[in-house]
Amino acid sequence: MCPSAENVESQVNGVNGHTNGANGINGNHSGYTGIHTRENPHAQSRNPYQPVGDFLSNISRFQIIESTLREGEQFANAFFDTEKKIEIAKALDDFGADYIELTSPAASEQSRLDCEAICKLGLKSKILTHIRCHMDDARIAVETGVDGVDVVIGTSSFLREHSHGKDMTYIKNTAIEVIEFVKSKGIEIRFSSEDSFRSDLVDLLSLYSAVDKVGVNRVGIADTVGCASPRQVYDLVRTLRGVVNCEIEIHLHNDTGCAIANAYCALEAGATHVDTSVLGIGERNGITPLGGLMARMIAADRDYVKSKYKLEKIKDIEDLVAEAVQVNIPFNNYITGFCAFTHKAGIHAKAILNNPSTYEIIDPADFGMTRYVHFASRLTGWNAIKSRAQQLNIEMTDAQYKDCTAKVKALADIRPIAIDDADSIIHAFHRNILHGQNKPILLPNMSDKEKKLLAEKEEEIADEPEKRALDQQVAEEADMERTIKKARTAQVTA
């Protein structure tokens, strides 16, 4: 189970004494030092890879149809009672979701009651429900108080033969009947094909054109089995954009790992709405994850995304849903994963401390998160040790930080070390400096074998200052020689 934000905050406070608030904790980062988040300069600078402007593109004017309470309810572990559904709906509304999509009220009596209950909350988000292309479902749906109805029917040969058994003529006639009925009730209507990317293109375009003519608000494309590639999505959406005048919604499953890329390409090609779910939960591997889409879109148009959505709410929403469906948030999850803004290698740490944009395309502060530098490892660099020492109110020279780093790395070469181990070394090293001593720096729980190995490494470390001094001398002599040569060349030229 995922720990709560409060529990994780106390864990990090107990270890680092450093936090950025409940939303700023990316999990228990024992052995990592949190860096106070600075503004990431890259976020305001021009992105050289930003897509060229295109009159069809909706990268800067998309809307989200959040489907955790519909598609997400199809996730293997999902069971949302009325109270939990209301809690999730309110959280999504607070985040700023344009639409919240609910399970069909025709699915069960409780689904109908839940739909009515959420409609009565008075949320800012528009409430949709998702139904089969059938008049019986439509009559039930319009009585619940929803703002819109999403209608779907399978159009691929697989579904027409093995699911509902209807031909394209029946599908078109029924779609028009349902659309006209819903429109007569004064609420939004979307019509979507199911399994769009395995459907005949001529059939699809003919069907979409027919429903567009009777005034549907949106048409939907669904990659129901997750088979589509970004290029296929772009081509189909762009083709459809030339056929219909209404808005275009995209629903993308993630079976082959392309859901986010496909959503982005759909928006570039002219789609207007993207279906998402929290943590991507849904049937099988689920659909486009809300947090992952936000990560992609903020890199494309930060101002638009931040102006519409409360990004700092994503972690709380993911924790809420993860607990409800009894899963852990993956370590590499977009934005909120344990490792999302964690830096370990020494070169990375130095650059991050100097300018976060060097190794971050996304500013964690935009999502209320904290970046971390892992300093308790053999890969640590002296800049990370310096940063940690200064958090501990220990000031030394750069040369002393480098010597201290060598001792941390020596111990980390022998065994995995924790933050307390690294802090003990830093404190012991500093005490030696203050008292003019050179006492061995040992940890209380070290074995005899570890002590022996450390002693051997200490002998190697003892030679390092002399080596650095010699290297510095050689470098200075080389600089002097180059300076003299330039001066002589200048005299000859003159």
Q: Which of 343, 348, 430, 435 is catalytic?
A: 348
Which are the contacts of 203, defined by CB distance < 8 A and separation ≥ 6?
155, 168
The SS3 assignment for 264 reads helix
The SS3 assignment for 32 reads strand
DSSP 41-57: HHHHS--TTPPPP-TT-
Tell me if 196 sits within 8 A of 224, measured CB to CB: yes
Kindly state the tokens that stand for 310: 């409360």
Tell me if 221 sits within 8 A of 237, measured CB to CB: yes
* Rounded-to-integer distance, Cα 432 and Cα 421, Å: 17
φ/ψ of residue 463, rounded to 5: -80, -15
* Rounded-to-integer distance, Cα 459 and Cα 143, Å: 81
3-class SS letters over 311-357: HHHHHHHHHHHHHHHCCCCCCCCCCCCCCCCEECCHHHHHHHHHCHH
Tell me if 323 sits within 8 A of 1, measured CB to CB: yes
Tell me if 326 sits within 8 A of 358, measured CB to CB: no
The SS3 assignment for 437 reads coil
Known catalytic membership, residue 36 = no
Tell me if 288 sits within 8 A of 254, measured CB to CB: yes
Tell me if 343 sits within 8 A of 361, measured CB to CB: no
Strand locations in 135-239 (E): 148-154, 188-194, 218-223
Bridge partners, 101 (sequence order): 128
Which are the contacts of 90, defined by CB distance < 8 A and separation ≥ 6?
121, 123
- The residue type found at 7 is N
* Rounded-to-integer distance, Cα 382 and Cα 399, Å: 9
The SS3 assignment for 193 reads strand
Radius of gyration of the chain from its Cα atoms, rounded to whole angstroms: 29
Strand order from edge to edge, sheet including 342-343: 32-35, 371-374, 342-343
* Cα–Cα nearest to 203, from 154, 155, 152, 251: 155
CB atoms within 10 A of CB 431: 13
Catalytic residues: 348
